[in-house]
Structure 1
Amino acid sequence: MASTIWLALLGFAMGLCTSLGGRDQRLVSALRDSFGASLPLLLTAWFCAFVSTCVMAWAGHSLGIALIGLEQGEAVLFGTVTAVALQLLFGAIVLLGTAVQLFWPVSSDALREPTRSLGALSIVLVLRQIFDPPRLTIFIVAMVLGAPLILGFGCAIGACAVLFIGWHRGNLSLHRLREGRLVRGLRMAVGAVIVIMAARFVIIALGLA
């Protein structure tokens, strides 16, 4: 029970910290300014966040199972590299890509809304979310730790909290925050933590620790 709570909190923290100031939050806040604080807009954004997060958590867990061959109860070898080492090296590469996204300023082009259709908004949101920092991070963590349902649910709740902030505050307010030191500093700090995590994965994979 305690481990379940900690995994859920880990997922929540990842979703919250890596989503703040992201492209999906920008889009939702811009649409809020255009169309008002529409409840269907918020519910659509939440639905997309849950779908994209759960899909990536499940995909990461499935890849982890495939790599280490848990169904056969033994590690699979790829040449001289064990499956666990390959898993960690792959995770490090993806995490570095995630850190680059966090370090890179979000383009103002993301403020352009797709259409007034919630269906079109859903497609745009899911496409933006599926390879964004929260989803890539939960993909790797679920691949390494398992527990995709718990981690995915926690991450989705954290991402939804950030989307609610965007929906509630609107883009003009969030733009000032995003360009300020607080949000920018947080994204840089989270990116640095992810770089350290990636380095740790490489060290373990190469047997240096």
Structure 2
Amino acid sequence: MTAFFFALVASFLAATGARDQLLVAGLRARLGPAPGLLVVALASAVATAFLASWFGAQLSQGMSRDASTMFVALAMLLAAFECIWPNRTPRPQEPTRSLGAIAIVLFLRQLTDASRFLVAAFAVALASPTLAGLGGAIGGGAAVAIGWAAGDALESKVPLRKLRLGLGLILAVLAVWVGLTARGLIG
């Protein structure tokens, strides 16, 4: 259950203010409360979370404990970088109404985001890829659902940039600490 809870909380926090959540919020503001958009966003969040956990499971098969801990540190560092990197993606001016096109864009954005890096890391470190995938799916799904529900109000009500910078800083510090632990330099 540890993998489930860690993945759920980490993926929700890492997906808050992320490119996928902002895209869903922007599309919802322009297309209206289309339930198809919510279904596509949730399906993509679930698929990418389980794909990340499957990837983590494949990696963990040949890793020692120290190597898996170092992988967690690297995944956390990548997640920190993704959180800190400014999101300058322009909102679609004339968004497509094609759910297939929206699904492809969301899937590709989510595949390499901080949330999925963390799900893969928990699948490796805690040797429970199914629970990590389930937690990541629920956390990532909740984040895009909030984006869908809030629409344009999301960015005006929540200081997302500051939140992402703070999360990125915390992840970077944790990544260094975990990496030093894996190398036997502390703890």
Residues 51-130 of structure 1: pairs in structure 2 closer than 5 A: 51-68=47-64, 84-109=65-90, 111-112=91-92, 115-130=96-111
Matched residue, 1:142: 123
1:22 maps to 2:18: yes
Which residue of 136, 147, 151 corresponds with 2:132?
151
Q: Deviations over 1:178-208 (max 9, x none)?
A: 5x3xx33332332222112211222122211
117-126 or 8-17, which moves further after superposition? 8-17
- The superposition leaves residues 161-190 of structure 1 with CA deviations (integer Å, 9 ceiling, x where unpaired) of 11111111112x122135x3xx33332332
Structure 1 distance, partners of 2:139, 2:72, is 22
Amino acid at match of 2:168: G
RMSD over aligned Cα, in angstroms?
A: 1.8
Q: Is the 8 A contact 1:96 1:194 kept in 2?
A: yes
Q: What residue is the counterpart of 1:39 in the other structure?
A: 35
In structure 1, the residue corresponding to 2:184 is in which secondary structure? coil
Contact 1:12-1:156 at 8 Å conserved across structures: yes
Instruction: Give the partner amino acid of 2:178.
Output: F
Look up the match of 2:174.
197
- The amino acid of 2:109's aligned partner reads R
- Which residue, out of 155, 158, 176, partners 1:175? 155
How many residues in Structure 1 have an aligned counterpart in Structure 2? 185
Give 1:130 shift.
0.6
The code of the aligned residue for 1:192 comes to L
Equivalence for 1:79: none
Task: Indicate whether 1:166 and 2:162 are aligned.
Answer: no
- Residues 123 and 129 in structure 2, CA contact (< 8 A), matched pair in contact too: yes
Runs of 5+ unmatched residues, structure 2: none
Query: SS at 2:21's partner residue?
Result: helix
**Residue type matched to 1:199 in 2?**
V
Q: Percent identity over the alignment?
A: 32
CA distance in 2, matches of 1:30, 1:193: 28
AA matched with 2:184: G
The one-letter code matched in structure 1 to 2:97 is R
Superimposed CA distance per residue, residues 64-121 of structure 1 (whole angstroms, 9 cap, x where no aligned partner): 11223xxxxxxxxxxxxxxx33333343233212101111221142x22763211111
Listed as ranges, the gaps of 5+ residues in structure 1 are: 69-83
Alpha-carbon distance in structure 2 between the residues aligned to 1:48 and 1:21 = 17
TM-score, structure 2 normalization: 0.90
Amino acid at match of 2:49: T
Structure (1 or 2) with the larger CA radius of gyration: 1
Q: What's the offset of the Cα at 1:18?
A: 0.6
Structure 2 counterpart of 1:13, which letter?
Answer: V
What secondary structure, in the 3-state scheme, does the structure 1 residue paired with 2:62 have?
Answer: helix
TM-score (norm 1): 0.81
